Amino acid sequence: MITLTTDFGTLYPAALKGAILALSPNAKIVDVSHEVPRGNVVAGALFLRCASVWFPDAIHVCVLGSEVRGRSRMLVVRTKRGTLVGPDSGVLCPAAEVLGGGELFELDGTQLWERAQWEMGSGVEYAVAAAMLENGVSPSEMGMPTQSIVELTLEHVHLSGEEVHTKVLYVDGFGNLVLAIPNSAALPSGRGTVRGHPFLLTDSYEQGRLVLYRGTLGFFELALGGGSASHLLGVREGDELVLELSEESGASW
């Protein structure tokens, strides 16, 4: 199985699929998303991390248009629970961590072209690499082992008294805010405020309330029942947020 995560929108993902199926006709392809916010490496890393959890043992491709134009190094991370293919921009790191780490290879784009006899460009080279891996070709046959990789961490949590400092990783189509607080953080139910608006720490979604809960993407989310938390708080991806916990919440980290 090969999963695809890009910011390519419509049409261009078909080139990736065509390259894969030309080399591996029986490959099963899953589109995780082609609507990653343009050039947003953090969001791309979040999406890829989710794909690695939802589709274990698959080959996961993640590439953004800005990275294709920037000619980043092409990497493969081979783990016991799946294989990651993408540019050396940090986008692979959170997924690699979830998968327990593994062997790292830098791919030779010229060698890929020679092996595949396929026109490269626009991210197609990553699809070609994935198809070759699907066919049983070892990463060592497509490149060389390496020890260097651009690091990226999604988690961003800092406690100062009753304040929790964090960042917005992603704003979904409903206006919900995916925060850089992992679901594993010890957040009991309680109350607090953010940018002057009260919120409820809860395990459920409540209509008409601003709520903080453990999300399906592996991180806490802020959502406004029946509305947009992003619009209410006036924030977007990358913005910092301070959650002010009320004394009665009894929150501990």
Share of the chain above pLDDT 70, in %: 89
Tally of domains within the chain: 2
The predicted structure's pLDDT at residue 65: 82
pLDDT surpassing 50 at residue 253: no
pLDDT for 250 equals: 43
Identify whether residues 53 and 120 lie together within a single domain. yes
**Model pLDDT, residue 135:** 96
Query: Are 89 and 195 part of one and the same domain?
Result: no
Q: Which residues of 46-84 are buried (b: 16+ CB within 10 A; e: fewer)?
A: bbbbbbbeebeebbbbbbbbbbbeeebbbbbbbbeebbb
**How far apart are the C-alpha atoms of 82 and 70, rounded to whole Å?**
26
Q: Which domain holds residue 169?
A: 158-249
Q: How confident is the model at residue 117 (pLDDT cuts 50, 70, 90)?
A: low
Place of tokens 């060389």: 144
Residue 249 has a pLDDT of 44
Phi, psi of 217 (to 5 degrees): -90, 5
pLDDT at 251 over 70: no
In this structure, is residue 132 part of a structural domain? yes
Q: Half-sphere exposure of residue 88, counting CA atoms within 13 Å on the CB side? A: 15
Do both 71 and 181 map to the same domain? no
Summarize pLDDT for 61-106 with one digit per residue, the tens.
999 986 665 567 999 999 989 999 999 999 999 999 999 988 999 9
Highest mean pLDDT among 65-74, 207-216, 243-252: 207-216
pLDDT averaged over every residue in the chain: 89
Angle at CA 119, nearest 5°, toward 115 and 124? 90
- Residues 229, 180, single domain; the answer is yes
Give the distance between the most distant pair of CA atoms in the chain.
65
Q: Where is the domain boundary, 145, 179, 205?
A: 145
Q: In this structure, are 138 and 177 located in the same domain?
A: no
Based on the domain organization, do 132 and 14 belong to the same domain?
Answer: yes
Which of 113, 145, 177 terminates a domain? The answer is 145
Name the DSSP letter for residue 186. -
Same domain, 120 and 176: no
Report residue 4: phi and psi, to 5°: -125, 130
Would the pLDDT of 179 be above 90? yes
Asked whether residue 153 is assigned to any structural domain, the reply reads no
**123 versus 20: which is more confidently predicted?**
20
Average pLDDT, integer, range 215-244: 95
Indicate the pLDDT class of residue 246, thresholds 50, 70 and 90: confident
User: Domain end: 145, 166, 198, which one?
Assistant: 145
